[in-house]
Structure 1
Amino acid sequence: MSAVYSVDVRITAPVNDTEVTDRVADAIRNLFPEADPDHREGELVAEVHTMEGFSEELHRAEILDTARSVFFDSLSGETFAFDLKKQAAFEGRVNFAVGDPSELGDIHVEVTVREPDAESYIDYVAPPTEDGRPVDQG
């Protein structure tokens, strides 16, 4: 795809007293390899400008439809947000957190799309599928 995307991705994750900060940072980096989390008062915060690594994991795990549903359900203007289970992320897997947050808290991701628009970016990160395979939109 030749489109240029301008996005701001803010990733936050609580770090509890019983957790090792580096392990939570690893969980974030496993799904967002570009992230360099900063420790701030009980949480880690990272900002990146791409979801390439995350998109690759969605493709590998074959959960594009689930991701699209989660993204579009939270879409408000040009922003969408979602939560991820920390333990799964630490293992390098995407597991969307739905319902009550886990005891240790979840990784929260907020994506603001500046160019071209949120719907196009969602289609890029998690393309529509047919029979479980991404549909070529080109």
Structure 2
Amino acid sequence: MTTVYSVDARIEAPVRDTEVTDRVRDAVEALFPAVEFVSEPGLLVAETHSLDDFSDKLHEQEILDTARREFDRNRTDDGFTFSLKKQAAFQGVVNFAVGDPDELGDIDVAVTVRSPSVEEYIDHLAPPTEDGAPVDPDRR
């Protein structure tokens, strides 16, 4: 049976005076290609209803455990948040931001999960691993 995921993700990236808005847009699209943008003064805002491409990046970079820790660290009953380094995003690389934001600011992502549950959606995005490989949920 295929699970249908219902999520909303809001992605915010500051645009500094020294930056070109289109470059910041490119950085966001490198990690979240299926977004719709809205520009606000000094801020680029994007929304999407799928993080599957982002999940693919997590798998490619083999950082599922790191992603799960970040998602769980900022988890609520309705969803989770996380921040990414803007400089890495320019290169199409996922690098979670911890501590103080970079000079250019971080890309902040807020995910609201409507269905199924937050835990199940996190398992979909970044499945649990065993020896670094994703675990088949039917074997658990």
TM category (shorter chain) comes to over 0.9
Identity percentage of aligned residues: 62
Alpha-carbon separation, structure 2, partners of 1:37 and 1:103: 23
TM-score (norm 2): 0.96
Instruction: Please list every run of 5 or more consecutive structure 1 residues that lacks an aligned counterpart in the other structure.
Output: none
Partner of 2:3: 3
Q: TM-score, normalising length from structure 1?
A: 0.98
Alpha-carbon separation, structure 2, partners of 1:78 and 1:36: 22
Per-residue displacement from partner, 1:60-107 (whole Å, max 9, x unpaired)?
000000000000010011210000001101100000000000011000
Per the alignment, residue 15 of structure 1 pairs with: 15
What is the 5 A alignment of 1:22-41?
22-41=22-41
Runs of 4+ in 1 over 2 A off after TM superposition: none
Letter in 2 for 1:125: L
1:37, 1:87 → 2: CA distance?
19
- Point out where structure 2 has 5 or more consecutive residues left out of the alignment: none
Matched positions, count: 138
RMSD of aligned residue pairs (Cα, Å): 0.9
Name 1:50's counterpart in structure 2.
Answer: 50
Q: Which moved more, 1:35-44 or 1:6-15?
A: 35-44
